[in-house]
């Protein structure tokens, strides 16, 4: 008798688990399922990859199935909120699998695709709705959905929601949910601001915590190369080309800070004959799905991603993670390199650190308690770099964001920020604008702001321009009002 059987999960759920080949629970499932079956609220500190989706899905499906109700128009009984489209789609797919032998409808809605079809799909109602916050509120505003009948509410990746500036939409959602409900709140990290957000949703929760973040990092070989920003591209191209040729690299994820940075890396790699695709918030849903599929299948061995786009993506067999820029939030580093050490496998993480990124490296080493091993440049680096071809030029028009509708204009609301680069430099060439690539947008005191010209990291808030007061103790309220225009949610 398996642990899942002992818990008393409904037979159709056990059958679905059998079909998936799950025999033992993961630690988060062991810790949370019994309390959730009793209807308790839950505060979970766990990352994607821990089996979190099944942890909240299995008991919820069990409870919904035990109390069958006819569908109500424009309504759902369970709402799962996720910060990104990819994660929402992944959760919905998993839930459909677990609910395969139950008579429960699972529907998924997210931004970046036309809202009309999603609104029509909700006319008859659904049992379980997985949604990104922006699109959820769009549907509510269009009267295509009410949250009046929600019995179970799951807020996933709360820290990522905060990073993306979803605080205001979440506050609205909190006000629309019925008081009498079960709430589950998950986050990979639990700083005070997230704990405070949690208090708005959960009541006397069971608290579960799995795999403290630094432990993932211990299974990954971690290297650091100190290098000027302008030379990073050449080093990446040379390393990937060599690694793919001698098969030491199977599949690599490259993280860049900005969306345009990701595109730029892909162009340079393509020019050097390295097959790569980019995934970030300016890509259409179809492009993102195609990039991910190509990467999963191994046709495109290199995926270049921003943190937000990559968050939660479950791809096995990633042998290497390259940090083209290292993150300024050390936890983010742990998330990134965790992509390579899934399911107990070991991986390699290589970070390129420019002189002004050194403080972030110190923070990362402090959090992970791992000292990154220095890796020198290849001996003939300069010679190899000089022989690399220049990337193809991009016409600005080719980089315009997709769509044109108000809700598809990206985080800057389509206010005319130049989208393309004027010229792509050859791979080793220096940039003439000295701080354009400065990571994390930090500006030395006294330096003139670059305003719209500087590329913001994906998810980074646009500087406040109106005279509206900033909200929130940590300025998170500054995102207010823009959030729902993003294509992401
Ligand atoms: P998640 O954290 O929900 O994204 O899950 C990570 C991966 O673990 C997914 O591919 C799941 O299908 C898988 N998984 C979840 N629970 C189990 C389990 N009890 N046994 C084996 N695999 C699991």
Secondary structure in 3-state letters for the chain: CCHHHHHCCCHHHHHHHHHHCCCCCCHHHHHHHHHHHCCCCEEEECCCCCCHHHHHHHHHHHHHHHCCCCCCCCECCEEEECCCHHHHHHHHHHHHHHCCCCCCCEEEECCCCCHHHHHHHCCCCCCEEEECHHHHHHHHHCCCCECCCCCEEEECCHHHHHHCCCHHHHHHHHHHCCCCCEEEEEECCCCHHHHHHHHCCCCCCEEEECCCHHHHHHCEEEEEEECCHHHHHHHHHHHHHHHHHCCCCCCEEEECCCHHHHHHHHHHHHHCCCCEEEECCCCCHHHHHHHHHHHHHCCCCEEEECHHHHCCCCCCCCCEEEECCCCCCHHHHHHHHHCCCHHHCCEEEEEEECHHHHHHHHHHHHHHCCCCEECCCCCCHHHHHHCCCCCCCCCHHHHCCCCCCHHHCCCCCCCCCCCCCCCCCCCCCCCCCCCCCCHHHCCCCCCCCCHHHCCCCCCCCCCCCCCCCCCCCCCHHHHCCCHHHCCCC
State the chain's mean pLDDT as an integer: 80
Give the model confidence (pLDDT) of 212-249 as tens digits.
555 556 678 999 999 999 999 999 999 999 999 999 99
Higher pLDDT, 116 or 419: 116
Residue 479 has pLDDT above 60, yes or no: no
Q: Residue 401's pLDDT is what?
A: 41
- Determine the Cα–Cα distance for residues 398 and 395; give it in Å rounded to an integer: 5
Q: Residue 344's pLDDT is what?
A: 55
Q: Residue 456's pLDDT is what?
A: 62
Ligand 1 mean position to 141 CA, how many Å?
A: 35
Q: Residue 188's pLDDT is what?
A: 84
- Are 27 and 210 contacting, i.e. CB atoms less than 8 angstroms apart? yes
Ligand 1 mean position to 52 CA, how many Å?
A: 7
The pair of three-digit structure tokens given for residue 229, joined into one six-digit string: 């920003």
Q: How many CB atoms lie within 10 A of CB 366?
A: 11
Bridge partners for 374 per DSSP: 224
Residue 201 has pLDDT above 90, yes or no: yes
- Determine the Cα–Cα distance for residues 450 and 61; give it in Å rounded to an integer: 51
Label residue 335 by pLDDT band (50, 70, 90): confident
**Most ligand 1 atoms within 8 A of CB, residue of 50, 54, 84, 100 to mutate:** 54
Label residue 49 by pLDDT band (50, 70, 90): confident
Nearest to 218 by CA among 71, 367, 99: 367
Q: Residue 442's pLDDT is what?
A: 29
- Which protein residue's CA is at the shortest distance from atom 15 of ligand 1? 51
Residue 447 has pLDDT above 50, yes or no: no
Q: Residue 272's pLDDT is what?
A: 95
Query: What would the mean pLDDT of 427-455 be, rounded to a whole number?
Result: 36
Q: Residue 485's pLDDT is what?
A: 31
| Ligand 1 pocket, residue 50 CB under 6 Å | yes
Nearest to 156 by CA among 43, 76, 32: 43
Q: In order of start, what are the domains of the chain with their CATH numbers?
A: 3-209 (3.40.50.300), 220-386 (3.40.50.300)
| Ligand 1 pocket, residue 225 CB under 6 Å | no
Query: What would the mean pLDDT of 191-200 be, rounded to a whole number?
Result: 88
Beta-carbon-side half-sphere exposure of residue 467 (alpha carbons within 13 Å): 0
Beta-carbon-side half-sphere exposure of residue 136 (alpha carbons within 13 Å): 30
Q: Residue 390's pLDDT is what?
A: 84
Ligand 1 mean position to 48 CA, how many Å?
A: 9
- Are 173 and 81 contacting, i.e. CB atoms less than 8 angstroms apart? yes
Residue 461 has pLDDT above 70, yes or no: no
Cα dist from 111 to 185, 227, 259, 281, 384, whole Å = 22, 38, 18, 11, 43
Higher pLDDT, 273 or 336: 273
Reported pTM: 0.59
Ligand 1 mean position to 360 CA, how many Å?
A: 32
Q: Residue 283's pLDDT is what?
A: 80
Residue 60 has pLDDT above 70, yes or no: yes
Label residue 489 by pLDDT band (50, 70, 90): very low
Label residue 211 by pLDDT band (50, 70, 90): low
Label residue 483 by pLDDT band (50, 70, 90): very low
Q: Residue 24's pLDDT is what?
A: 85
**Most ligand 1 atoms within 8 A of CB, residue of 21, 51, 89, 345 to mutate:** 51
Ligand 1 mean position to 425 CA, how many Å?
A: 43
- Which protein residue's CA is at the shortest distance from atom 20 of ligand 1? 22
Lowest mean pLDDT among 2-16, 34-48, 304-318: 304-318
Residue 207 has pLDDT above 70, yes or no: yes
Lowest mean pLDDT among 31-35, 242-246, 364-368, 385-389: 364-368
Residue 418 has pLDDT above 50, yes or no: no
Query: What would the mean pLDDT of 85-109 be, rounded to a whole number?
Result: 95
Q: Residue 95's pLDDT is what?
A: 98
| Ligand 1 pocket, residue 54 CB under 6 Å | yes
Query: What would the mean pLDDT of 33-38 be, rounded to a whole number?
Result: 96
Ligand 1 mean position to 223 CA, how many Å?
A: 29
- Determine the Cα–Cα distance for residues 337 and 339; give it in Å rounded to an integer: 5
| Ligand 1 pocket, residue 57 CB under 6 Å | no
Burial class (CB in 10 A: 0-12, 13-18, 19+), 158: buried
- Determine the Cα–Cα distance for residues 489 and 487; give it in Å rounded to an integer: 6
Query: What would the mean pLDDT of 74-81 be, rounded to a whole number?
Result: 98
Q: Residue 163's pLDDT is what?
A: 76
Q: Residue 289's pLDDT is what?
A: 83
Ligand 1 mean position to 169 CA, how many Å?
A: 29
Residue 470 has pLDDT above 50, yes or no: no
Q: Residue 57's pLDDT is what?
A: 98
% the chain with pLDDT above 90: 54
Q: Residue 121's pLDDT is what?
A: 94
Q: What is the Cα gyration radius of the chain?
A: 23
How remote is the C-alpha of 157 from its chain's centroid? 9
- Are 235 and 200 contacting, i.e. CB atoms less than 8 angstroms apart? no
Q: Residue 314's pLDDT is what?
A: 66
Residue 311 has pLDDT above 60, yes or no: yes
% the chain with pLDDT above 70: 76
Higher pLDDT, 324 or 311: 324
């Amino acid at each position: 008798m398996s642990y899942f059987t002992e818990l008393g999960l409904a037979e159709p759920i056990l059958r679905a688990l059998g079909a998936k080949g799950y025999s033992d629970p993961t630690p988060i499932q062991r810790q949370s399922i019994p309390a959730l079956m009793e209807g308790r609220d839950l505060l979970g500190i766990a990352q994607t990859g821990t089996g979190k989706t099944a942890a909240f899905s299995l008991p919820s499906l069990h409870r919904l199935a035990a109390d069958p109700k006819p569908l109500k128009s424009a309504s759902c009984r369970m709402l799962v909120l996720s910060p990104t489209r990819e994660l929402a789609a992944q959760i919905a797919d998993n839930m459909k699998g677990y609910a395969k032998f139950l008579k429960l409808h699972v529907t998924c809605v997210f931004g970046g695709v036309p809202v009309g079809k999603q609104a029509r799909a909700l006319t008859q109602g659904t049992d379980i709705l997985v949604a990104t916050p922006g699109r959820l509120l769009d549907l509510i505003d269009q009267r295509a959905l009410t949250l009046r009948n929600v019995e179970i509410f799951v807020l996933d990746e709360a820290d990522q929601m905060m990073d993306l500036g979803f605080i205001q939409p979440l506050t609205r959602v909190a006000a629309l949910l019925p008081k009498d409900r079960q709430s589950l709140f998950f986050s990979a990290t639990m700083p005070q601001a997230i704990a405070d957000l949690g208090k708005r949703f959960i009541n006397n929760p069971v608290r579960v915590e799995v795999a403290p973040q630094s432990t993932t990092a211990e299974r990954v070989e971690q290297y650091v190369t100190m290098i000027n920003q302008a030379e990073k591209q050449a080093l990446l191209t040379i390393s990937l080309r060599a690694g793919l040729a001698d098969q030491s690299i199977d599949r690599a994820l490259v993280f860049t800070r900005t969306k345009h940075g990701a595109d730029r890396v892909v162009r340079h790699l393509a020019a050097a004959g390295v097959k790569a695709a980019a995934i970030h918030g300016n890509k259409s849903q179809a492009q993102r799905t195609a990039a991910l599929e190509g990467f999963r299948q191994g046709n495109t061995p290199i995926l270049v991603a921003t943190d937000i786009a990559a968050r939660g993506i479950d791809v096995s067999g990633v042998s290497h993670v390259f940090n083209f820029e290292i993150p300024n939030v050390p936890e983010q580093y742990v998330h990134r390199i965790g992509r390579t050490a899934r399911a107990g496998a070991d991986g390699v993480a290589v970070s390129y650190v420019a002189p002004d990124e050194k403080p972030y490296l110190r923070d990362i080493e402090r959090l992970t308690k791992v000292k990154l091993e220095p890796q020198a440049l290849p001996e003939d680096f300069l010679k190899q770099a000089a022989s690399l071809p220049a990337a193809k030029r991009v016409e600005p028009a080719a980089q315009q964001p997709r769509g044109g509708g108000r809700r598809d204009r990206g985080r800057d609301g389509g206010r005319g920020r130049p989208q393309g680069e004027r010229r792509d430099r050859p791979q080793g060439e220096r940039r003439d604008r000295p701080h354009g690539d400065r990571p994390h947008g930090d500006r030395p005191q006294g330096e003139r702001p670059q305003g719209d010209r500087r590329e913001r990291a994906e998810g980074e808030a646009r500087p406040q321009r109106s005279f509206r007061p900033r909200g929130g103790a940590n300025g998170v309220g500054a995102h207010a009002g823009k959030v729902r225009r993003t294509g992401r949610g």
